[in-house]
Structure 1
């Protein structure tokens, strides 16, 4: 009677080769997944950064354009003729009477501050004056918005509405520097002849001759030092915007 051959399975070497091939393929798939994840994460951070840059410049530009605004009817009492300088802008802090623009400059840290004042106006439910923190202000209120880099909260752009006592962040992006310069009409011909930093404007006492404000923001690069982003610089190119003063 013929005896069948003994059944044989895969050898240990064959199993090890198969496992090695499987691990190699899984490692390749993991690498693809990891790189895809890094790419999506980087794109998300860059998109958020662009939103932060756009929001920062937009909010600061809107504030500068509002600087010096006052509702005309509040400055026209029935028995008096309005003056060129609204009396509603009272002296406060570093500002004298009628002054609505002020700033500070630090050449070392490049962390300037910008303060803008205006008179709130609300003529209807759809026409409301908001401060830099998004709060509605009553008509006739002297509103003060102060911008600075808040070093206590990851260097975010922050704004105060109470004269610089309390600040709230208005964007999430981390700032490396904020330099504010002022276009000054030094000759009195209605043209901004030169741009000066706040300390020079203060020294010359020419805040009343400022015709425009130039904002320069330098953001920290969110991709710097992250895996898969070798060669990224610590900061991004400076973005600037020049805003004309529309009220006086």
Structure 2
């Protein structure tokens, strides 16, 4: 019985087709893997940015809302609890300097073990009342820092390139804010009732097409002891 003739070169063509299909599938896998890795990196960068924003906002809110607090308002005046010291007049609880970047100084008094924490997360564990001066600033490494009572600045959050602070003042004495000043324009003896903080955050996705170099966030904080 005679075998059917086999077409010359058909085996080579099949091999080449198989190789082509294999290369195509491999390239698709590489594209999918690269896309997945890029998406994951973007999501991680965005998550880190959001986490830094939350941390900065939480700490600054807590400290600013404590401005002017002292343990015994029934038996003591603000001027006695918070005497004149450094940049603060007697009874004054908030101050700052105009930059950029600005600085923000907040002070309050605490009683032993009363649970009121300074910006470094420490409370008064002593046996007498303690005044804390909390100084927020931005260092040369784009980090939000805070120092307490003139001590070493501790890093709170990475990726912050600027802080801008405006002070809401009750200029008419009616209990409402009617003007915002920066630190340089703040009138002496003004009653500050709120603070508007703007942070400029380094954008971790800045290298991507169409992404800005930085992202800003602004919010308003009422001073609890001035409301």
Same fold (TM over 0.5): yes
Q: What are structure 2's unaligned runs of at least 5 residues? A: none
Deviations 1:145-184 (A, max 9, x none): 11111223xx121111132x52111123x12321100011
Matched, 1:111 2:97: no
Equivalents in 2 of 1:29, 1:91: separation in Å? 69
- For 1:99 and 1:160, the matched residues in 2 are separated by 19
Is 1:58 paired with 2:37? Answer: no
Q: Note the alpha carbon deviations across 1:22-53, whole angstroms, 9 max, x for none.
A: 22311210110111111122112212211211
**Change beyond 3 A, Cα 1:10–1:94:** farther
Question: Structure 1, residues 56-97: CA drift from partner, whole Å, max 9, x if none?
Answer: 112111111101101017x73xxxxx3x43413133322223
Q: Aligned-pair distance for 1:115?
A: 0.6
| Residue number in structure 1 paired with 2:164 | 179
Equivalent residues of 2:143, 2:157 under 8 A apart = yes
The count of aligned residue pairs is 223
Give runs of aligned pairs for residues 109-188 of structure 1, distance below 5 A: 110-122=100-112, 127-138=114-125, 140-152=129-141, 155-163=142-150, 165-172=151-158, 174-188=159-173
Distance (whole Å) between structure 2 residues aligned to residue 33 and residue 10 of structure 1: 35
Question: Following TM superposition, by how much is the alpha carbon of 1:205 offset from its aligned partner in structure 2, in angstroms?
Answer: 0.8
- Give runs of aligned pairs for residues 6-155 of structure 1, distance below 5 A: 15-72=15-72, 76=75, 82=76, 84-106=77-99, 110-122=100-112, 127-138=114-125, 140-152=129-141, 155=142
Q: Structure 1 stretches of 5 or more lacking a match?
A: 77-81
**Equivalents in 1 of 2:32, 2:13: separation in Å?**
29
Give, in whole Å, the separation in 2 of the partners of 1:90 and 1:11. Answer: 96
* 8 A contact 2:70–2:78 mirrored in 1: no
